[in-house]
């Protein structure tokens, strides 16, 4: 189970950090490494504050969480627009700030749990849709029929780091075809290494 979670962070062959754990080397997405590691720690802190009854004004929690998240969006967007060259150090830092912002929003925003969860999901879908469109444009794909542009080439798809599988214009290899279709706006594309997929294991990346 732990290994599957760790492998879920190995979804970016271009920007990664090598980490040795449990006798093997992992290549974690640098931004996700910062987001999940720092976000997990800060989530414990904010959860303790929540259970101890700490209450903060709505405007403070909402604005602070968005300011922290914007560092990550600006870093990613400025690199994609060609304004600057990104670095793994900056990706880890801004990913960490995003993790703090998300956990701060989730635990301490003074609204109902339903509102917190629904708004976080909506934010993820909106930003994921932007990422999906950018990835399509970078690879010359059609947004609505991405694989018809390169019918004979296999592409590795993952949804925010999970459920990797290989697809082309005809079909998707198992596993996770249904999950990938359900979270289409969150998908990212990378060429399958070695030209194919591992049977029952998804992409070779």
Four-residue CA torsion sign, 120, 184, 143, 139:
positive
Give the tens place of pLDDT for each residue, 106-128. 999 999 999 999 999 888 878 87
The listed range with the strongest mean pLDDT (27-31, 49-53, 178-182, 200-204) is: 49-53
The radius of gyration of the chain's CA atoms, rounded to the nearest angstrom, is: 18
pLDDT at 163 over 70: no
If asked whether residues 105 and 156 sit together in one domain, one would say no
pLDDT at 96 over 90: yes
Q: What is the pLDDT of residue 170?
A: 54
If asked whether residues 35 and 85 sit together in one domain, one would say yes
If asked whether residues 43 and 103 sit together in one domain, one would say yes
Between 27 and 193, name the one with better pLDDT.
Answer: 27
pLDDT at 59 over 80: yes
If asked whether residues 105 and 157 sit together in one domain, one would say no
Q: Per the domain annotation, does 188 fall within a domain?
A: yes
Q: Per the domain annotation, does 170 fall within a domain?
A: yes
Percent with pLDDT over 90 in the chain:
37
Alpha-carbon torsion, ordered 13, 18, 24, 29, to 10 deg: -50
The string of DSSP codes covering 35-79 is HHHHHHHHHHHHHHHHHTT----HHHHHHHHHHHHHHHHHHHHHH
Q: Per the domain annotation, does 23 fall within a domain?
A: no
The string of DSSP codes covering 10-32 is ---SSSEEEEEETTEEEEEEHHH
CA distance 153 to 168: 6
Please report which confidence band the pLDDT of residue 195 belongs to, taking 50, 70 and 90 as the band edges. very low
What is the span of the domain harbouring residue 51? Answer: 30-110
What is the average pLDDT across 188-193?
A: 49
Q: Per the domain annotation, does 140 fall within a domain?
A: no
Joined together, the tokens standing for residue 28 give: 């974690």
If asked whether residues 102 and 39 sit together in one domain, one would say yes
Q: Per the domain annotation, does 64 fall within a domain?
A: yes
Q: Per the domain annotation, does 17 fall within a domain?
A: no
Q: Per the domain annotation, does 128 fall within a domain?
A: no
The answer to whether 73 and 127 have CB atoms below 8 angstroms apart is yes
Where does a domain end: 55, 86, 110?
110
Where does a domain end: 110, 144, 175?
110
Strand 24-29 to 187-191 pairing: unpaired
Percent with pLDDT over 70 in the chain:
65
Q: Per the domain annotation, does 191 fall within a domain?
A: yes
Between 156 and 47, name the one with better pLDDT.
Answer: 47
If asked whether residues 40 and 105 sit together in one domain, one would say yes
Domain count, the chain: 2
Where does a domain end: 81, 110, 139?
110
């Amino acid at each position: 189970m732990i290994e599957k979670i760790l492998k879920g962070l190995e979804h970016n062959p271009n920007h990664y950090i090598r980490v040795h754990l449990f006798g093997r080397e992992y290549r974690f997405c640098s931004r996700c490494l910062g987001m999940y590691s720092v976000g997990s720690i800060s989530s414990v802190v904010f959860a303790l504050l929540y259970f101890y009854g700490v209450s903060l004004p709505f405007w403070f929690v909402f604005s602070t969480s968005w300011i922290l998240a914007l560092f990550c969006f600006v870093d990613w967007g400025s690199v994609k627009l060609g304004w600057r060259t990104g670095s793994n150090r900056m990706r880890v830092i801004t990913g960490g700030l995003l993790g703090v912002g998300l956990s701060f929003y989730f635990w301490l925003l003074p609204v109902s749990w339903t509102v917190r969860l629904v708004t976080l999901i909506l934010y993820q879908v909106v930003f994921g849709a932007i990422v999906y469109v950018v990835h399509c444009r970078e690879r010359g794909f059609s947004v609505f029929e991405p694989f018809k542009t390169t019918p004979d080439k296999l592409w590795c798809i993952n949804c925010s780091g999970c459920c990797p599988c290989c697809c082309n214009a005809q079909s998707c290899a198992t596993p996770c075809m249904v999950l990938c279709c359900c979270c289409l706006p969150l998908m990212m594309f990378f060429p399958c290494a070695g030209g194919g997929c591992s049977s029952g294991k998804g992409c070779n990346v």
